[in-house]
Chains A and B, each alone.
Chain A
Amino acid sequence: MNYSKKIVFCILIICLSGLSAFSHDLKVTEKVLPNGLKILLKEERKAPVVTFQIWYKVGSRNEALGKTGMSHLLEHMMFKGAKKYGPKQFSQMVQKNGGNDNAFTSKDYTAYFENFASDRIEISLDLESDRMQGLLLEPREFLSEQKVVKEERRMRYEDDPTSTMVEQMMATAFMAHPYQWPVIGWMADLGNIARDDLFNHYKTYYAPNNATIVAVGDFETKKLLPLIEKYFGAIPRGPDVSAVGAVEPKQLGERRIIVKKEAELPAVFAGYKTPNLKHPDSYALDVLQGILSSGKSSRLYASLVYEKQLALYAGGEYDNITNDPNLFYVYAGVMPGKTTEEVEKALYAEIEKLKTEPVTDEELRKAKNQIEAGFIMGQDSVFFQAMLLGRHETVASWKMLEKYLAGIRAVTKDDIKRVAKEYFFEDNRTVGILVPVKK
C-alpha cells in the first residue's frame, strides 16, 4: 500500500455539463495583476471545499545536464521555511486547519496546492505569498533534503526495473531536448547540485510573472480576487524568463535500448514522436489513444491481453499536455512463457491496422463517448478541475479546454488513419526493452 499522494493524469480532460456544439463557457474569471501574476477563479458550490493551486512555469525542461533534478529538489525546499513561516511550519499550519497540501514537479511545471474547507482559503494566500518571495533555503535543511530526494530516487527508479527502462528509453528518444532526462534528475546530478544553484533557480523562476494561481471551489469571486491582490499584488515582477530554445531534430531511424536488470518479467515500450496539444492533429491522436487503450474493450487490451494472452498488461498513452512535442507510446508487460519479440510484433500489428483499415463506427463513437463522459464525471472533483486549468494554462492556454470537445467531436475515421500514417512509422520510433537477468 502506498500512501504517497499520486495524481492520476490518465484522463486529460475537463468536466462540463451542458455541452454545446462549438465551445463551452467554463465560467472562469481571468485576471492578470500589474506584476504579471495570472489568476484563474472558478466557483463551484457543490461541496463546502476549495482547492488553491499555484503553478510555476519551471520544470526539468529548464535544467541542464550535470544539474538535473533542480526543479524537483527546489520543490522539496519550498516546504522548508520562508521569511514568515519557518521550517516545518507550512504543513503544520495547513493540517491544523484541517487541510491537505502537497506539490508536484513535471518536465514543464512545478505546482503547489492546498485543499481546505472553504472558510480557510486565506491561509493558502498567506503561505504561498510568503514562499513566492522569501524562501530561506537554509544550508542545513538543504543537505538533509538532498538526501531525502536521493531516497526518493532509489525508491522510484533504482529498485524498479520497469521504471529504469522507461527512464533510459526517454533518454534515448530525445538527443537535443531536455525531455531526455528524468524529472527527479540523474543520481550523480543530485549530489552535484549546490544550495546556491537552487537559490539561482528560485530567483530566476519564482516570480509573479512566471506563475498562475488557480482556485476552484466554494468561494465568491468578488471577495476572493481582492484578497489575492492584497497578498500577491505587492510582490515585485521578476526578470523576464528566457525561452528554452532546444528543438529536437527529426528522428532518422529507429532507436532501441536494452536494459538488463534483475526482474521477473520482460517489458516492451515503444514511443513515437508526436506533436503536442498545440497542433490540430492532437484531437485525432487523443481519439486514437482511446481506441487503442481506453477500457478493456480497447484494441491493445482485447488483442494482446485477452485474446492472444501474450501480455499481462498493455496500453498506450499520448503525453501531449506539454510545452514541446513529446511521445505517444505503446507498451506491454510480457506474459511468462512468451517473448518480447512476439509482444513487440503484436503491438506493431495493432499500429499497422490503424494505418490500413478504417476504425469501425462503433469504436469511434465509443472513444468519443468515453471522452465526453470523462468531461462530465471529472466535474465531481474541484481539485481535478483546477489541475486541468493549471496544466493547460502553464503549457499553452486554459482556453484550449473550452474548445476541446468540439475538436474531439470533429475527428473522423479518415483523420485517425491519416495521423496513424503520419506519426506511427519505424524510423520515428524509440523502443525500450527490459530484459530480466538473474543475480
Chain B
Amino acid sequence: MRNKERIINQVIRLVTAITLVAVPIIAKADGPLGKRIPLKNGMILLLSEKHDIPMVTVNMALKAGNTAEPQDKPGLASLTASLLMQGTTKRTASRINREIDFIGGSLSVSGGDDFASASLRVLKKDVKTGMDLLSDVLMNPAFDQREIDRTVKEALAEIQRQKEEPETVASEAFAKAVFGKHPYGITSDDVAAYLPKLARQDLLDFYRQHYGPNNTIIAVVGDVKEKEIIALLNGYFKDWKRAEQPVQPSPAPPKVDRTTVLKLEKNITQANIVMGRIGISRQDPDYYAVSIMNYILGGGGFTSRLMDNIRDNRGLAYDVHSMFSARKEPGAFSVRIQTKNESANEVISETLKEIGRIRSEPVSDKELADAKAYLTGSFALRMDTSAKIAGILTSIEIYNLGLDYPQKYPAIIQAVTREDLLRVAKKYLDPDRMVIVVVANQEKAKLKR
C-alpha cells in the first residue's frame, strides 16, 4: 500500500511546493479532551464522544513493540502484529478482509518501536461488527503455518524492495550507528537474517507474553455514548488473558566520543544525508525547550534556519528538516537532506554551521516569539479530526500528560526562555559527537570528511 500511495501521489498527480511543519502532539479544547476509564479486565479506555458524524474511530496501543522482543529475535514483534490480521480461530484472513471491507470500514494492526498499534474505523451502525472483528484479531490469532510462511516471504521481499530507496538505506545505517544493540537500532538486515529461522512457537510465546488487556490502551473517538461503549468493550474483551511478561530493559546505546562519517555507495543523482545523535525521551523535562529550539533550527518548515539557509538562499535541496524523535526512551536527533551529489560537502558544512550557531548564541526575541506563537496557535489544527484526537489521547496516557494537557500547554510553552534554548542546544546538539551518513555516488560527492 505504501508503494501504491507513493506512486499515486508522486508520479501521476501532484507535486507540492513546500515542506510542511512537523510538530509534536498537542491539543486544545475548552474542557478536558476526554475521559479516562479503567475497564474491568485492566484495559485503559480513553473516550472522546463526538456526535457530529455517525462514525467511530478506535486507536489502540499495546506494549508489544520492538522493545519487548528478545534481542536475538529482531522483527518478531512486527511479524506477530502483522499475523494478527492473517486469521483467527474463528475467521480466515480472507474472511476478516471481506467483513471489514463490506461495511466500508478499515482495520489494521502493525508493529512499532515502543508499541504495537491497532486501529479501527467504522460507521456508527457497524460499531458492533467492528468491535467483534477487532477483538477477534487481538484475542484469537491462529498463527497458521501457511500464513506465517506467506507473511515472512512478503516481509523479505519488502525489505529487498526498500533497498531501492536511498533515504531508507541512509536511515537504517544511521539508526544502527546511533543505537547499536538498542531495539531502536534494529535494521531490516537484522530482520532479514532472523526471519528464515523464525518458528511458530516464537510467535505464540511473544503473543502470550505481551498481548493482553493489562498491556493495552484503547482510545475511542466518535458517535458513541459512554455506557454503550463500556458495555461493548467489557463484552467483547471479557475473556482476553492477561499478558504474562513486563517489557525488559533494553541495552544502552553505544557511547559516541567523536564524529563519524559513514559513506555508502549508490549510483544515484542525489546524496541522501542523515546526520545527528542520541536525543531525548518524551518524558524528559527538557522536551518543550527542545521542541522550540528544534522548531527554530530545522523543525519549523519554511521558517526554520536550515530551510532558509540551504533551500531558500542556496537552492541546494527541496527538503531539509531536523527532528527529535521523542519516545519512551531517548530517540534520535536527526537532520535529513537530499542534495545533488556534488553539493554534499557544502550542505554538511552549512548544517554543522547552523548547529554550531544555535549552540553558541541565543536565538533572537523574534524567533522565540514566532516559534511560541506557532506552537500555541496551531493547537486547534492538531486536533481537528477524529484520528488526530485519538492519537493525542493515546499519547496523553502513554506519557502521563494529563487530560487537561491542552489547557496546560500554552503556559508550559510560554515559560521557556532564550536561556533554556541555549542550554538544551548545548546539551543535545554536539557537532563533535555526531553520526553522519551519506548514501551517494561517492565519486561525485567527493566527501572531505
Contacts and interface: CB of A to CB of B under 8 A. Distances in A.
Interface centre among B18, B50, B269, B317 (most CB of A within 10 A): B18
B164 A336 contact: no
Interface residues of A, number: 106
Interface string B300-336: 1111000010011111111101010000000000001
Given A4-B19, A106-B14, A183-B15, A97 B54 contact: no
Contacts of A371: 104
A156 B340 contact: no
B381 A372 contact: no
Contact of B158 (A149, A297, A312, A369): A312
Contacts of B55: 376-377, 380
A117 B103 contact: no
A145 B318 CA distance: 9
Interface centre among A115, A336, A377 (most CB of B within 10 A): A377
Contacts of B321: 3
B14 A159 contact: no
Interface string B15-46: 11111111000000000000000000000000
B52 A95 contact: no
A46 B380 CA distance: 11
B345 to A, nearest CB: 16
A158 B339 CA distance: 12
Contacts of A264: 160-161, 163-164
Interface in A116-171: 116-118, 120, 143-152, 154-163, 166-167, 170
A45 B154 CA distance: 44
Interface string B337-379: 0111000000000000000000000000000011001101111
A170 B267 CA distance: 25
Interface stretch (A5-13, A195-203, A422-430): A5-13
A162 B3 contact: yes
B201 interface: no
A48 B387 CA distance: 16
B210 interface: no
A98 B379 contact: yes
Given A148-B311, A151-B339, A380-B385, A10 B8 contact: yes
Interface in B151-169: 153-154, 156-158, 160-161, 163-167
Nearest to A372: B104
A117 B17 contact: no
A144 B314 contact: yes
B386 interface: yes
B309 to A, nearest CB: 12
B12 interface: yes
Nearest to A436: B164
Given A98-B379, A146-B315, A3 B12 contact: no
Nearest to B302: A91
Contacts of A27: none
Contacts of B104: 369-374, 377
B161 A319 contact: no
A92 interface: yes
Contact of B270 (A46, A155, A376): A155
Interface stretch (A71-79, A221-229, A405-413): A71-79
A250 interface: no
Nearest to B165: A160
Interface centre among B93, B98, B321, B379 (most CB of A within 10 A): B98
A263 B426 CA distance: 42
B3 A100 contact: no
Nearest to B105: A373
Contacts, number: 283
Contacts of A104: 14-17
B53 A75 contact: no
A96 interface: yes
Interface centre among B158, B267, B301 (most CB of A within 10 A): B301
Given A4-B19, A9-B14, A264-B163, A298 B101 contact: yes
Interface string A340-381: 000000000000000000000010011001111110110111
A158 B269 CA distance: 7
Contacts of B317: 148, 151
29 contacts: A4-B19, A4-B319, A10-B8, A47-B385, A98-B373, A98-B380, A100-B20, A100-B21, A102-B16, A103-B16, A105-B16, A144-B312, A148-B318, A151-B270, A156-B11, A159-B270, A160-B165, A162-B164, A166-B7, A182-B11, A183-B15, A263-B164, A295-B97, A297-B101, A306-B150, A362-B102, A374-B104, A380-B55, A380-B386
Interface of A: 1-10, 15, 17, 46-49, 72, 75-76, 78-79, 88, 91-92, 95-107, 115-118, 120, 143-152, 154-163, 166-167, 170, 182-184, 262-265, 294-298, 302, 305-306, 309, 312-313, 315, 317, 319, 331, 333, 335-336, 362, 365-366, 369-374, 376-377, 379-382, 439
Interface of B: 1, 3-5, 7-22, 50, 52-55, 93-94, 97-98, 100-106, 121, 123, 150, 153-154, 156-158, 160-161, 163-167, 171, 267-270, 300-303, 308, 311-319, 321, 323, 336, 338-340, 369-370, 373-374, 376-381, 383-387
